[in-house]
Structure 1
Amino acid sequence: MYRKAQEQETPPENFELPFGGQLASDNRWVIMAKMIPWSEFEAEYAAMFSEEIGAPAKTFRIALGALIIKEKLGIRERETVEQIRENPYLQYFIGMSVYSKKAPFDASMLVHFRERIDINVVNKINQEIVKQARETKEEVVKEKKSETEDSKSEPELPNRGKLILDASCAPADISYPTDFGLLNQARKQTETIIDILYTSLKVKKIKKPRTYRKIARKNYLAVAKKRKPTIKERRKAIKRQLQYMKRNFAHIQQLIDLGASLVNLSNSQYKILLVVAEIYRQQLWLYENKKQSIEDRIVSLSQPHIRPIVRGKAGKNVEFGAKFSASCYEGYVFLEHISWDNFNESKDLKSQVEAYKSYTGYYPESVHVDQIYRTRENQAWCKERGIRISGPPLGRPPKNVSPQTKKQALEDERIRNCIEGKFGQGKRRFSLGRVMAKLPHTSLTSIAISFLVMNLSTLLARVFCVFLCLLSKSRLFSLI
């Protein structure tokens, strides 16, 4: 059951504090609370709940606000709840009107908040927040222009602005996968499943199948503890693990034929059984064909949706997580395309430029991208719309390059560094560097929240810059 939150927002000066006083209106959490359109997306969140049946659910502002606080402060779930319980500004941010010493929710609720708030909702909120800020800025600019000169109506808006595009990967929280280690984990899971199925047949006095788990572990450690095992030793150890798994699968089928049912397995154990079977199929094919890669390769037993993403970066040739392409303009960054499978980001250029046009009302003046985006198709498409794409033209480079061309190339690279800085901010300051969520949809929501908080931080910094400018002017006038 969902109860709609109060329509009128409590002003910060009316927030009830047990020790008297009032909240400061220039606090960062008070300012950010005014930036987010809570009520516009509450109906979409409330549609997931029944109107009459069930316990009252936490409001949309509490759910989204808690996720923003966790991402903004860079803390875990339990610490997030403690910070909200201790800080009245955080309680105001999530929509409370009276300070309370009790925790507003349990730490485990943050998992449910990520499940209920979809990535598309977070992206819409991100776009709406930036849209409101841009409209406010444009109104101020129009007022200044109207004071100085008469405004002339233009029949069609020209290309304006600079659009920056790039792609990156959000690594998941998994250990570096190896074929040998993955097979060892899968083998141990099959042994656990054999124990569960055999327990259900103990009444029939059937002899328990032998799994040779001690010998299998001894063979695994004999190679795993070596600093640099040879290729021959590694292949021999992989072959042994595959043989152990083949025997275990035969025992599982034998127990099922004798009357054991997979109903005795929990949902997670049944899912792991399916994942282990696929891992065995993939690793057997790789071993028999002496290959190093296969489509839809599983690299994690607990998170089978994760795929290896070849990045070619120094020190990190391969990353394991979700690959995403993002756009950046006017200092704001937006999540455009995200997938667990590797994809060619150059195919997203057209859709990202069209999204920029539908969002702003005009095409960008220039698009700043790296080499992978500069295909003949993309360059021809941009040329038709009067969009300049950064970087040198395709083909053989000219012998003599003019100073203006060199200066333009340096300027384009300087502009493109903005999105690289955003990725660095997301991976060092926020959770893009290591996504701790385990489920595929909650991981995507966590990534989208990082982009939302980055834009909120940008807006907050600009508000404080305006405040400091006004403060310095007032002091200057007082001195005069």
Structure 2
Amino acid sequence: MGTKPAEERSDHDLFRTELVNLIDQRHELVKLAALIDWQAFTDKWSPQFESTTGRPALPTRLMAALLYLKHVYALSDEAVVERWCENPYWQHFSGERYFRHELPCDPSSLVRWRQRIGEEGCEWLLAHSIEAATRAGVIKRRSLDTVVLDTTVAPKAIAHPTDSRLLNRAREHLVAAAQDAGITLRQSYARVGKAAEAQAGRYAHAKQYRRMQREIRKLRTSLGRVIRDVQRKAQAVGGEIAGALKDRLELAQRLHQQRRDSKNKLYALHAPEVECIAKGKARTPYEFGVKVSVAVTANEGLVVGMRSMPGNPYDGHTVDSQLEQVGILTGHTPKTVLADRSYRGVQPPSGIRLIISHTRRLPPRLKKLLKRRQVVEPMIGHMKADGLLAKNWLKGAVGDALHALLCGAGHNLRMILRHLRVLCLAFIGWLMLVDPVSSSPSASMPRPAVG
């Protein structure tokens, strides 16, 4: 059984008031709901969520709206479903006919939906946010001719990596996995490892780095002994190492072998895909996450392309893939691309002109246009401050790709909501000028009785 729209799932109830009669139709979320083509989501996703047994699948509009609201208001999966019960505008935006007092779904349903729709589905969400911005008048069609490219880092939700902490945690995880597999170890080094990790932190705080390195060597030696003990006991039993024990053993061996000058270092045991990226910032010299390429329009700053770039590639090598995504999402190939000096030495595809900052001997028109390159910087700042780009909680490299796309969609919707809010305030101000008596808030209030 496939998904059903909200109006088909609930019959008309004479004893309940519909949401359209409760809310203000001038609200920006109400207008935004009318700008999005929700039927396209049903046609696109309903065949993927057909359920032959059990309860019917959740409505596609509900799940798409929850993903939008999560990234517009920078909330977690748990917080967005809890606030959904309290906000009638959110329920109207999700396609509900009557106000509901129960949760729309379990928060884990959002996790499964992201996994089911994948990167293609999140690109679909970003593309529809661009279409809604075009319908709302936030951008014009000719704005797609000039885009700005830049890269940033989407930090992962991990603790700051230190050698002492990583080595001790790897030993603890490996000991626990061996015990679950029924392997009795000669020694677990639990007391020694905990004391060495704490002492290494004290020595680092006191800037006594030789003593700190001595404690780290103790931790590395303990981890190596546990690794060899697990391998010997597994061979003696005659069984092949598999499952969780194999994964823990591979991570422990990788961490035990890496040194200061090693490549492809391990910075988090639960997120091996995390990379250390140096962006040259004084406040954060190094960031731990994944590089993200961003494409925005030069005039308005609307996100027209956003994707993760694992492997920390050179910025110039991301141009072709990023422009390809812009063409897929917007159906339009830009003619001019503005970028900073990190994109030097790159030849863009034919028919596209790449203009780099600080380029000399440019015509006055292109010099003026190049000043719009800085528009991408505050847009990235807004996505990190107002959105969820500052910390990624999704798992794996796939989670990095989905998170980047959804952050771009949330930024576009925030721009649309702000645009609609300004239009509504301008319309109210115009009414105040035309008829200040009838349009004032006190005009609709009942007058007190006299006598």
TM-score by length of 1: 0.78
Q: CA distance change for structure 1 residues 260 and 103 in 2, over 3 Å: closer, same or farther?
A: farther
> 1:152 maps to what in 2?
none
Specify which of 327, 348, 358 is matched with residue 295 of structure 2. 327
Matched, 1:107 2:89: no
Specify which of 307, 310, 316 is matched with residue 340 of structure 1. 310
Q: Which moved more, 1:349-358 or 1:75-84?
A: 349-358
Specify which of 179, 183, 188 is matched with residue 211 of structure 1. 188
Matched, 1:453 2:445: no
Tell me if the contact between 1:303 and 1:438 (Cα under 8 Å) persists in the aligned partners. yes
> 1:372 maps to what in 2?
342
Tell me if the contact between 2:389 and 2:407 (Cα under 8 Å) persists in the aligned partners. yes
> 1:279 maps to what in 2?
255
> 1:90 maps to what in 2?
90
Tell me if the contact between 1:306 and 1:321 (Cα under 8 Å) persists in the aligned partners. yes
Shift of 1:303: 1.0
Specify which of 361, 381, 391 is matched with residue 357 of structure 2. 391
Specify which of 197, 203, 207 is matched with residue 220 of structure 1. 197
For residue 281 of structure 2, what is the amino acid of its counterpart?
K
Shift of 1:467: 3.3
Q: CA distance change for structure 1 residues 91 and 189 in 2, over 3 Å: closer, same or farther?
A: same
Question: Within 5 A, what are the aligned runs for 1:20-99?
Answer: 21-99=21-99
Q: CA distance change for structure 1 residues 16 and 370 in 2, over 3 Å: closer, same or farther?
A: farther
Instruction: Measure the CA separation in 2 of the matches of 1:477 and 1:237.
Output: 78
> 2:443 maps to what in 1?
none
Q: CA distance change for structure 1 residues 141 and 131 in 2, over 3 Å: closer, same or farther?
A: closer
For residue 223 of structure 1, what is the amino acid of its counterpart?
A
> 1:143-180 deviations in whole A, cap 9, x for unaligned?
xxxxxxxxxxxxxx9x9743111000110111111223
Instruction: Measure the CA separation in 2 of the matches of 1:141 and 1:42.
Output: 27
Tell me if the contact between 1:172 and 1:321 (Cα under 8 Å) persists in the aligned partners. yes
Instruction: Measure the CA separation in 2 of the matches of 1:75 and 1:125.
Output: 17
For residue 100 of structure 1, what is the amino acid of its counterpart?
R
Tell me if the contact between 1:35 and 1:129 (Cα under 8 Å) persists in the aligned partners. no
Listed as ranges, the gaps of 5+ residues in structure 1 are: 143-156, 202-206
Give the 3-state SS of the residue equivalent to 2:291 in structure 1: strand
Shift of 1:248: 0.8
Q: CA distance change for structure 1 residues 16 and 459 in 2, over 3 Å: closer, same or farther?
A: farther
Question: Within 5 A, what are the aligned runs for 1:147-162?
Answer: 161-162=145-146
Matched, 1:173 2:173: no
Instruction: Measure the CA separation in 2 of the matches of 1:440 and 1:386.
Output: 30
Q: CA distance change for structure 1 residues 255 and 438 in 2, over 3 Å: closer, same or farther?
A: same
Give the 3-state SS of the residue equivalent to 2:413 in structure 1: helix
Matched, 1:314 2:282: yes
Shift of 1:230: 4.1
Q: CA distance change for structure 1 residues 338 and 85 in 2, over 3 Å: closer, same or farther?
A: same
Percent identity for Structure 1 against Structure 2: 21
Instruction: Measure the CA separation in 1 of the matches of 2:96 and 2:416.
Output: 23
Tell me if the contact between 2:293 and 2:309 (Cα under 8 Å) persists in the aligned partners. no
Specify which of 261, 283, 289 is matched with residue 292 of structure 1. 261
Instruction: Measure the CA separation in 1 of the matches of 2:236 and 2:312.
Output: 43
Give the 3-state SS of the residue equivalent to 1:86 in structure 2: coil
Matched, 1:434 2:391: yes
Shift of 1:456: 1.0
Instruction: Measure the CA separation in 1 of the matches of 2:195 and 2:418.
Output: 57
Matched, 1:252 2:222: no
Instruction: Measure the CA separation in 1 of the matches of 2:63 and 2:82.
Output: 15
Tell me if the contact between 1:15 and 1:92 (Cα under 8 Å) persists in the aligned partners. no
Instruction: Measure the CA separation in 2 of the matches of 1:115 and 1:40.
Output: 20
Instruction: Measure the CA separation in 1 of the matches of 2:333 and 2:310.
Output: 32
Q: CA distance change for structure 1 residues 9 and 471 in 2, over 3 Å: closer, same or farther?
A: farther
Instruction: Measure the CA separation in 2 of the matches of 1:106 and 1:92.
Output: 19
Q: CA distance change for structure 1 residues 297 and 45 in 2, over 3 Å: closer, same or farther?
A: farther
Tell me if the contact between 2:150 and 2:340 (Cα under 8 Å) persists in the aligned partners. yes
> How many equivalent pairs are there?
429
Shift of 1:233: 3.0
Give the 3-state SS of the residue equivalent to 2:34 in structure 1: helix
Q: CA distance change for structure 1 residues 476 and 467 in 2, over 3 Å: closer, same or farther?
A: same
Q: CA distance change for structure 1 residues 353 and 444 in 2, over 3 Å: closer, same or farther?
A: closer
TM-score by length of 2: 0.82
Matched, 1:465 2:422: yes
For residue 164 of structure 2, what is the amino acid of its counterpart?
F
